[in-house]
Structure 1
Amino acid sequence: MNTSLLAAEGVNPLAPHPVEIIVGLIAFGLLLWVLAKTVFPQFEKIYAERTDKIEGGLKRAEEAQAEAQRIKQQYDEQLAGLRAEAARIRDDARAEGQQIKAELRAEAEAEAERIRARAEEQILAQREAAVRSLRAEVGSLATQLAERIIGSELSDPARRSATVDSFLQELEGLGSRQPTGAN
């Protein structure tokens, strides 16, 4: 019944009443004004804070990345310096090893030379002792031989010495005329 009554009056049931539209617009305006005065500034403030946080975070991230790059570069430089230092230490160690090796070789050669010189001195001393011993023996044999040949005793020491010396000089002269290594 209500619908037929409304239809008879010419009112559309789906269209709002003009008073409702005015009351709705006033309520909407008040709500918009309250939101604009209280809520929207809070939204703007939060939006600005988040924007600053994001921009600050990006800036801090860029700074951290730049710092990381700088630290990496320092690390690379230190690493290169340490590698150069290690190479220098290896080269120094090699050079020192070569120097020690050369010193030990020189000491060994000097010791060998001392041993050789000592051996030569000993050989020379033994040779001189052998020559003295042979001279005495040869002198004694020469005296005995001369006594047998002459038939008289050589009792005078000066005469005996002169005879032995002349005999030995003759022997040395004969020995020096023979070629080396000939028997």
Structure 2
Amino acid sequence: MPQLEQVSVFSSLIFWSIVSFALLLFLLKKYAFPPILQMLEERQKKISGDIQNAEAMRAEAEKIKKEFEDQLQTAHDKANTIVQLAHDESRKLQEKTLNETQAKVRQMQKEAEHEIRVARDKLMGEIRQYVSVLTIASTEKILRRTMQDDDKKRLVDESIDEVVRNLEKN
């Protein structure tokens, strides 16, 4: 190795390089390293503080998130309760409307039956009257004689009863 053979020639150079390096190292240690180390320590403290702040903020965010989820669940429960109440109210209203409609239908049916009875009674009265007149006229023609009022009335009633029985059978 030829580089090591020339050490004697550069011995003064090596000495001054070591002295310069030692002086530089001393100056750096005395004047440069303390501010650098202090700055590094401050940076480390700042980073540690930032990490602690981030952890605190994360914990706060988790707490807020949990509170929000609780509030959201409460709101969801309230909404479900409101929907259930509305559903129940709707069902009650539907049942009430159905009952009212059924009552109206029964009332209308009763009224219709009453009107039918009244119309039937009126019709029966008219038929009775028509039949009585017809019976009297036909009986007078057939018998060609005059009848007593009691006989007329009895014959009319019998004829009416017979016609009514025949109508009721049909």
Common fold: TM-score over 0.5: yes
Which range moves more in the overlay, 136-145 or 84-93?
Answer: 136-145
CA distance in 2, matches of 1:166, 1:101: 54
Residue 30 (structure 1) shift: 3.9
Residue 145 (structure 1) shift: 5.7
1:118 alignment partner in structure 2: 115
1:136 alignment partner in structure 2: 133
Residue 137 (structure 1) shift: 2.3
Residue 138 (structure 1) shift: 2.7
1:102 alignment partner in structure 2: 99
Percent of paired sites with the same residue: 8
Deviations 1:137-162 (A, max 9, x none): 233344456654xxxx46xxxxx544
Which one scores higher on RCO, CA 8 angstroms, separation ≥ 6?
2
1:11 alignment partner in structure 2: none
Which range moves more in the overlay, 130-139 or 113-122?
Answer: 130-139
The structure with the largest alpha-carbon Rg is: 1
Deviations 1:28-66 (A, max 9, x none): 454323145422221121111111110000110111111
2:86 alignment partner in structure 1: 89
CA distance in 2, matches of 1:40, 1:71: 45
| Structure 1 gap ranges (5+) | 7-16, 155-159, 176-180
CA distance in 1, matches of 2:150, 2:139: 11
Structure with the larger helix share: 2
Which range moves more in the overlay, 90-99 or 123-132?
Answer: 90-99
1:165 alignment partner in structure 2: 153
Matched residue count: 151
The reply to whether residue 127 of structure 1 matches residue 115 of structure 2 is: no
| Structure 2 gap ranges (5+) | 9-14, 163-167
